[in-house]
Structure 1
Amino acid sequence: MNGVQIIDRDGRMLVSSETIAAGAGVQHKNVLELVENSRADFEDFGPIAFETRMGVPLPQGGFARSTRIAMLNEEQATLLMTYQRNTEQVRGFKKALVRAFFEMRKAQAASSAPVALTRRDLALAVIAAEDEADRQRERAERAESVEKAIISSEGLSVREFHKHYFADTSEREFNQVLYTSGLLINQRGKGEPRRDGSFRDGGQHRHPGHAGKRFFYLDAGIAGNGHRFAQTRVRPGEPEIALVRYLAGRGLSATRAIADTAALGTNIHRSTREVYA
């Protein structure tokens, strides 16, 4: 590159004060003094990077004196050359320096230019895009069928919901989260006394709490024997999906069953793992 060494350091073009001193035919220490004395002028074009180079090994042992070097960008190097006495050697080096920076910029541009695609590359890209579109369409169709199945149901019971979505969590731990979160009312042992001295559960035990009414509803009716019954069920559709996300956010580990059943949320085409992340 015209004998002038330009260094490409992470995309930044730099030249050392040693290279400039050698090209201009002046002592390196004089170049460093000029840089230091006019440092404010040079730093108008960016901070100056200084490096220290270890001296060469000496025959008697040890090393020669280390050398301090300034690494200058194109603007700083150009400014430095304007401070040099305009001798014939300096004029020749100015042109070589300008040409070296120009060639380095051209080389950088060539290395970052996009590679022209062949017809085969384009064909493969089209095939890959079509395959991805087919996968997206299949996922959307599966998600739509899941949505219809969930919405058309009467809703899972609390136990069914636990087994389907959080089977890896014990039922006791699962219920405890529902109680402490206020999703279900906990009236265990708070009802009427039994003959053996124990207490029945309260009449509203496991009914939806105030915080849980957006997720649960009370399925009440009369059984064939004429007795009334009430069972808490998960509201089908989006509330069911939102409940899974809510509980997962409180530390419960969702099972693989989610991937087979739930694909709703804010974007039905997103993967289940992303929905519940």
Structure 2
Amino acid sequence: MFNQEPDPDNDYTMIVRQTPEGELTTTSLVIAEGTKIQHASVLRVVRDNEEDFEEFGRVRFEIRPFETAGGTQNRTIAVLNREHAMLLMTYMRNTAVIRQFKKQLVKAFTDMERRLAARPAFDPSQITRLEMAQMLLNAETERLALEAENKKMQPKADAYDSFIDASGSYSMGVVAKMLGVGQNWLFRELRNRGVLIPRGAMRNTPYQRHMGYFEVKAHRYEQPNGEEKVSYTTYVLPKGIDFIRRTLGFTRIDPMLPIPMN
């Protein structure tokens, strides 16, 4: 599946993919195939060191079907961001195959980041009113869907109440599009400017002094081993859009352009 000697024009999308939220990820299965190690062994390394991995963000486990001679079966894979992937590779014994794949993995993330950076910047001033209306409609649809999902997973502890209070917020991805930047870039710059927490269980959530501009929602989820955990997602309140614009030094943007009724 992987070239032993990757060339500069290699398509690394087989190794690294971009999620709908804009994050670059790979999987435990990709790493297992690239290092020629059994996937069960790679997945065990992630599970046995999960606390280490989650210092760099929550590790998502997904169940995906695959075909065998006996029919369709399911397997659990770990979805890993760049930091997860690099940490996993440090836990592996250096063989010639593993060293070669380490280089491919670094090049894959770097190549994908370069491609994304080369894409034309999103210019809010060029959006038509119809396009803006559609953007806001999509954002509202997403918000309502998330609210419905949050009601199903509402935390039992009162301590989580402040994180799930409905308030008409926007996802960070939508705000990034309004500003013409990538979501990962937006998270990084807000961490660098002391707006968002940089590490730990509350990574990418705002410090208390900035909570008035954001809404943080808690989501309970159950891991394959039955352990229940909580993750947190940051959303931006309407007044937070202008706060982010000013904090990052962008020119004025009005995401609520008036739409004529006739």
> What TM-score results when the alignment is normalised by the length of structure 1?
0.38
Larger radius of gyration: 1
Higher RCO structure (Cα 8 Å, ≥6 apart): 2
Structure with greater proportional strand content: 2
